[in-house]
Amino acid sequence: MNASSPAHPEARQALTAGIICYLIWGVIPLAFQQMGAHGANPWEILAHRSMWGVVWAAGLVILARQSSQVMAVLKDPRTFGFLVLSSLVIATNWVTYILAVNNGRTLDAALGYYLNPLLNMAAGAWLFREKITRIGFVAIGLAVIGVVIQTIALGHAPWISLILACSFSLYGIIRKRVSADAQTGLFVECLILSVPALAWVIWLQLSGQGHFGTAWPISLWLLFSGPLTVIPLMLFSWAARRMPLSTMGFLQYIAPTMVFVIGMLQGESLSLLRGISFGFIWAAVAIFTAGAVHNARKKAAAITEFEPGLVTTPQERNPDNQPD
């Protein structure tokens, strides 16, 4: 493979950014649970995520020297409107997730993020004309079976899971259409959310219901919600614009698997039927991953064979007819 080709390093960087993003999201329930254990409710946590998030997002904008891009976005009604919409969607996702993991519904949260890649693949094919292979269809079929069994096991529609899946899938679609860099878009989103967040935090503090400043552990956890929010979202936004939505969707299985393990270790109930449903989903992930690795190797071999400037013939590989 030609190392000088710019597309390949960027693809590898996007893949790395996506993996790191989902690893962070995989452990984030533990942080929210710590905040909840110290008395903060989901709405207070959401407010602090938004308020401290804008500080960290501003730092990224300054480091990237994108202040002019921020001003351009704020002056562009279409782009700003998309970011207002994406900020509302991600806020819905955040508060639903916090409610789930802080109220013994961590497995429901995991299910939501197992379901999300199915929506991403469908959206990728419908909106962006991304091709789904036969292996992809098999993986989707197995995952759908798993989700149906999960619904039967619960005895009702998994509303938490559906809200999480739909909101984050919609967020990814909107961000893929926004003509703004990851840092710029994220800062504007946090800026939009920080206005009501700051008002809510001030009201909580003045009414004596706020937890910031009451003790150093909860204060540090609420401060930590800033980087915990900004860093993975920045990585997600950057990677989502540089790889197919379907690929980004299946990377997301990293996070719900970690969340599932957390829920199990914390003693949440897992019936036999629910266990079978997760088995179908994990089989889908394994099949898709095997297919993706096979296709990547074929593509790499094709590039090595036909890319200009590379040695492709036996004579070129061994011009002096020396033994291999």
Residue 321 domain-assigned (yes or no) = no
Query: What is the domain extent for residue 286?
Result: 10-301
pLDDT at position 269 is 84
* pLDDT band, residue 28 (cuts 50/70/90): very high
Q: Is it the case that residue 317 has pLDDT exceeding 60?
A: no
Residue 271 domain-assigned (yes or no) = yes
Distance CA 98, CA 166 (A): 16
Q: What is the pTM of this model?
A: 0.79
Mean pLDDT across the stretch 236-242? 78
pLDDT at position 315 is 47
Residue 240 domain-assigned (yes or no) = yes
* pLDDT band, residue 155 (cuts 50/70/90): confident
Residue 54 domain-assigned (yes or no) = yes
Residue 130 domain-assigned (yes or no) = yes
Residue 324 domain-assigned (yes or no) = no
* pLDDT band, residue 304 (cuts 50/70/90): low
Total number of domains constituting the chain: 1
